[in-house]
Chain A
Amino acid sequence: MTAAPAGTSSDAGVRRLGLVLLLAGILGLAASAELAIEKFRLLEDPLYVPPCTLGGAVDCGSVMTSDQASAFGFPNPFLGLAGFAGVLVAGLAVASGARPGRWFWLVVQAGMAFAVVFVHWLIFQGLYRVGALCPFCIAVWVATIPAFWYVTLHNLQDVAARPSRLGAVARIARENHGIVLTVWLLLVAALLVERFWAPWDSVFA
């Protein structure tokens, strides 16, 4: 994970942020593409069983046909295809040495903030409303959360330099970036295990 120092991001730190974005972009784009393709297949043939339907709670079909799967009136993967392509290109540029200006990062921040809020809404809906899991959706969650986290930490570098209380919080967040991220992902994993305990038992037992 990116080793962001307490103060200003080092060049290596920014490069690593680029790598995080690049990997998140690749993972997110691949998952979105798969979900979009499966969505088309499902529309072509209502009896089509997506390969990611493994039985138990792991059921792409019921996730993809839910209302939540078209939260804005069109299939969510379209957002992923466009958004993660942007993340991928941003990551590629930054990892290869580009150092974009401040407003670039603010735009990326806005996009990632939208993405992370949307993803958590989807996590909630998937766990407690639809009641089914889809592996490629989880891949999207896993791509979005670290990307959001490290872009945010990068943008907090000015705040972290301040002697204020907020600055102290930002510094602590930057120093413990990996721990915060791990706790975040484990919390999601814990909710998942708690919710789907029984189905998992039956699927993998």
Chain B
Amino acid sequence: MVESRRRSGRLASVPTSRNVKVSAGLVALFVVVVAAVAILVGGGDDGSDAPSERASSTTTTATSETSADAATLPPVVTDDPRLLGAPGSSGVTFTEFLDFECEGCRAAYPAVEELRKAYAGRVTFNIRYFPLPGHQNSRPAAIAVEAASQQGKLEEMYRRMFETQAEWGEKRESQAGTFRGFAEDLGLDMKRYDAAVADPATLRRVESDFAAGSALGVQGTPTFFVNERRIDPRSVDDLRNEIDAAIAGS
């Protein structure tokens, strides 16, 4: 600054130092205000306006009661699972808590399909519904898939949801009609489908998965479990390694 002032006689020293001083003052003021607000509001903030509607796997939050007592934890693999394809022979079950409207789940879908191919016949692939409240149509989507599963078309509907997500995801209006169209395409008995969608028991089935997931500490989707153990993969290889280890140990 000094050098430039010296080099150019036309540079009035006043504006330069004023620019620096006022700027520094403003920055200091900003920091003080933020710090003051932090101290005043600090601990009392409940984080209610935390924006995380579209956040992916690691951060998509769902208010979860963290139940610490391992003894009271619900099982990851229940007596009434929703399986993709036939069960595997190794006794290892791979469970995904998913939200059909979640982009992270859509992104993971091809990887999960590859795992299913690679471990076909050996590992059981289980899905559990975890429709996040930030998504308008994730719960209707889960209900549609659950309704399809009652007619043995779980896998078909599951595929359809992810393959068409870009068309119906992130919409404000209800996509129940779109999902009904999928059901028709899959050749479902529409009377039974409509009845299942309207049946409170279908919603309860979805909600029971969500509640179990919350209790298990699932906070976002996709969240993966190998048997009863939660995996926090940082790559697809992590999933393979965990599955391999579980097969080797079983």
A positions within 8 Å CB-CB of B:
1, 3, 5-7, 10-13, 16, 45-49, 53, 55-57, 59, 61-62, 65-66, 128-132, 175-179, 181-183, 186, 189-190, 193, 195-199, 201-202
Cα–Cα distance between A179 and B22 once the two chains are bound (Å): 6
A10→B34 contact, CB < 8 A: no
Enumerate chain A residues within 8 angstroms of B8, measured Cβ to Cβ. 5, 10-13
Give the chain A neighbours of B1 by CB distance below 8 A.
Answer: 3
List B residues 147-182 near A (Cβ within 8 Å).
none
Q: Which residue of B lies closest to A49 (CB)?
A: B234
Q: Is the CB of A65 within 8 A of B11?
A: no
Q: At the interface, yes or no: B111 with Cβ under 8 Å from chain A?
A: yes
A198 touches B46 (CB 8 A): yes
- Binary contact readout B230-250 vs A (1 if CB under 8 angstroms, 0 otherwise): 000111111100000000000
Q: Tally of A-B residue pairs with Cβ under 8 A? A: 148
Output the residue of B49, B51, B58, B234 with the most chain A CB within 10 A. B51
Contacting B4 at CB < 8 Å: which of A6, A16, A65? A16
Tell me if B12 is interfacial: C-beta within 8 Å of chain A: yes
Given contacts A46-B104, A198-B49, 15 further A-B contacts (CB under 8 A): A3-B1, A3-B16, A7-B10, A10-B8, A10-B11, A13-B8, A13-B11, A47-B57, A47-B235, A47-B236, A48-B235, A176-B15, A179-B23, A181-B23, A199-B47
A61 partner residues in chain B, CB cutoff 8 A: 56-58, 104
Residues in B whose Cβ lies below 8 Å from that of A195:
49, 51
Flag whether B80 is at the interface (Cβ < 8 A). no
Interface size on B, residues (CB 8 A): 49
Instruction: Collect the chain A residues with CB atoms within 8 Å of residue B108's CB.
Output: 46-47
* A128 neighbours in B (Cβ, 8 Å): 51
Q: What is the minimal beta-carbon distance from A121 to any residue of chain B, in angstroms?
A: 17
Cβ 8 A contact of A190, one of B30, B103, B233: B30
**How many angstroms from the CA of A130 to the CA of B233 in the assembled complex?**
23
Q: Is the CB of A57 within 8 A of B51?
A: yes
- List B residues 1-55 near A (Cβ within 8 Å): 1, 4-5, 7-8, 10-12, 15-16, 18-20, 22-23, 26-27, 30, 34, 41-42, 45-55
Question: Given contacts A131-B53, A182-B23, A201-B47, are A56 and B15 in contact (CB under 8 A)?
Answer: no
Interface residue ranges, B against A (CB under 8 Å): 1, 4-5, 7-8, 10-12, 15-16, 18-20, 22-23, 26-27, 30, 34, 41-42, 45-59, 103-104, 107-108, 110-111, 233-239
Cα separation A175 to B47 with both chains bound (whole Å): 42
Contact A130 B30 (CB under 8 A): no
Q: B233 — which chain A residues lie within 8 A by C-beta? A: 47
A56 to chain B: which residues have CB within 8 Å?
A: 50, 59
For the complex, give the distance between the alpha carbons of A45 and B34 in Å.
Answer: 39
Give chain A residues whose Cβ lies under 8 Å from the Cβ of B5: 3
Report which of B12, B15, B58 forms a contact with A49, defined as CB distance below 8 A.
B58
Q: Which of A57, A178, A181 has the most CB of B within 10 A?
A: A178
Q: Report yes or no: A59 in contact with B107, Cβ–Cβ below 8 A.
A: no
